[in-house]
Structure 1
Amino acid sequence: MLLVLDIGNTNTVVGVYEDAKLLADWRLATDRLKTVDEYGILVKSLFSEAGLDHRRVESAIISSVVPPVTGLFAGMIEKYFGVRPREVGPGVKTGLVIKYENPREVGADRVVNAVAGIQLYGPPLVIIDFGTATTFCAIGAQGDYLGGSIAPGLGIISEALFIRTAKLPRVEIVRPRTVIGKNTVNSIQSGLFFGYIGMVESLITRIKAEMNCNPLVVATGGLAELIAGDTKMIDRINPYLTLEGLRLIYGMNQNA
């Protein structure tokens, strides 16, 4: 079995593959204060609950945008699963031509999503990852990574509004029934949700115009279904895009 981990600023997604089949996946809070042993006990218990034998894990791969946590998970995998994980980064084969001014600046999660998107859907693509930050990645017609945009995630905007105002409450991020709110909570939810939809649609429109083509727009990440359900500009939702990319990249580097 292959263990794959996508370590994000808010959540870490863990998946287990048997060949190309995803057997189980879990979303954990990314906690810099947890120890190797705490993560090990947690992940082993998840395997047990899913009826999986953790001793069958033969390999592992990690993508991470949180360097302090990367070592914790790598150490956990070595101690509790007995394998040394591969980490997506410089020197790892991806088959991706990155046209960033400095390719090393492109986050591992964006690289992994691009690899999966090209393999599953074919270029050209716009890939949107709704995580702590919302990233937009443009993949050209030849499969080149052209660049993209990075915006604050909906959760960050909501939290900033609560922290920086004296009387506005913290609210649940949901789709309100109307744009015109009839109370403070609904008004905040309207501004957050529909305002965010407007930002997403505007960036998609502008990215497509610069690409000078009509790419397929694919969404992934924790809020993908919520946002994509209210716009016609997102063509596909794939909650497992990053896990698939990790599986594919591991395969490219299996004999390296």
Structure 2
Amino acid sequence: MILTIDIGNTVITVGTVSKTGTHFVEHISTDTKKTDLEYAIAFRTILELYQIPSRPLTGSILSSVVPPLTAVINRALTKIIGKPALVVGPGVKTGLPIRIDNPAQLGSDMVVNAVAAAAEYPLPLILIDMGTATTLSVIDENGSYLGGAILPGAGIALDSLVNRTAQLPRISFEAPDTAIAKNTVDSMKCGIVYGNAAMLDGMIDRMEGELGRPAHAVATGDLAKAVIPHCTHPILYDEMLPMKGLYRIYMKNRTDG
């Protein structure tokens, strides 16, 4: 069993994975001010909540889009497990052919998700990750990463709308009963949920048009749960996708035989 860590701009996703599957996934807030000890305590507490002692953990792997935290959290993992984590980045084997202008520019989170999706779902595939940013990635029928799109995340868009207007309130991220809203709160819910659903449908249409054939669609990220049920395209939700990808990359790079 290994400990998997995905460091995002807003949340850090923590899980444990073994050959039998993903055992749990939890999220803690990303905080660049915390020390390695504070993160070690947070990770140890999560493991204790799930009754997983650190002794059976054979290793750890992390991906990060927050460079200042990468070394900090690696030190935290070393405190827990007794050795540094494998960090997804240059020199790490992924098995994913990347067909973009500069493969080194592809975020480690997008690599991790693509590795898992290409292995577990029919191809070609459009992969959606709705986190701080919303990303769409296209994987062709041969399992190659072709490219994609990056958009402002739904949460960022909502925060911007509230912070830059004088009268719009903070709202919960849920769909209203109708697309023709009758009040301000429902109008905002309509825009943020149905608007993002329509955006995903439109992007899938465009990407399928360029592929020249239909593609399966898979989504991950907390906000996707509220949006994809309102899409016209069938989109499968997989919360565990980052953990699955990290485990696969770990196994490709293991040196203990």
Aligned equivalents of 1:86 and 1:20: distance in 2?
21
Give the TM-score normalised by structure 2. Answer: 0.96
Aligned equivalents of 2:116 and 2:247: distance in 1?
9
Aligned equivalents of 2:235 and 2:155: distance in 1?
23
Q: By how many angstroms is 1:18 displaced? A: 2.8
Q: By how many angstroms is 1:24 displaced? A: 2.1
Q: By how many angstroms is 1:21 displaced? A: 2.1
Report the more deviating stretch, 94-103 or 16-25. 16-25
Map residues 46-195 of structure 1 onto 2, 5 A cutoff. Answer: 46-195=46-195
1:207 counterpart letter in structure 2:
M
Show structure 1 runs of 4+ deviating over 4 A.
none
Mark the CA change 1:195 to 1:66 in structure 2 (over 3 Å): closer, same or farther. same
- The answer for the alignment partner of 1:233 in structure 2 is 233
Aligned equivalents of 2:75 and 2:47: distance in 1?
18
- Secondary structure of the residue that 1:98 maps to in structure 2? coil
Q: By how many angstroms is 1:236 displaced? A: 1.5
Aligned equivalents of 2:239 and 2:24: distance in 1?
13
Aligned equivalents of 1:68 and 1:139: distance in 2?
30
Mark the CA change 1:12 to 1:98 in structure 2 (over 3 Å): closer, same or farther. same
Q: Deviations over 1:166-220 (max 9, x none)?
A: 2211211111111122221111111111111111111111011111111111111
Aligned equivalents of 1:45 and 1:111: distance in 2?
29
Map residues 195-214 of structure 1 onto 2, 5 A cutoff. Answer: 195-214=195-214
Structure 2's unaligned 5+ residue stretches are none
Identity %: 39
1:202 counterpart letter in structure 2:
G
Q: 2:11 touches 2:29 (CA, 8 Å); kept in 1?
A: yes
- The answer for the alignment partner of 2:6 in structure 1 is 6
Q: Deviations over 1:85-139 (max 9, x none)?
A: 0011111111111111010111111111111011101421100001110100000
Structure 1's unaligned 5+ residue stretches are none
- The answer for the alignment partner of 1:22 in structure 2 is 22
Q: By how many angstroms is 1:80 displaced? A: 2.4
Q: 1:219 touches 1:234 (CA, 8 Å); kept in 2?
A: no
Q: 1:224 touches 1:239 (CA, 8 Å); kept in 2?
A: no
Aligned equivalents of 2:18 and 2:11: distance in 1?
23
Report the more deviating stretch, 48-57 or 245-254. 48-57
- The answer for the alignment partner of 2:248 in structure 1 is 248
Aligned equivalents of 1:39 and 1:126: distance in 2?
34
Aligned equivalents of 1:29 and 1:108: distance in 2?
19
Q: Deviations over 1:132-175 (max 9, x none)?
A: 10100000111111000001111000000011112211211111
Aligned equivalents of 2:180 and 2:250: distance in 1?
48
- Secondary structure of the residue that 1:116 maps to in structure 2? helix
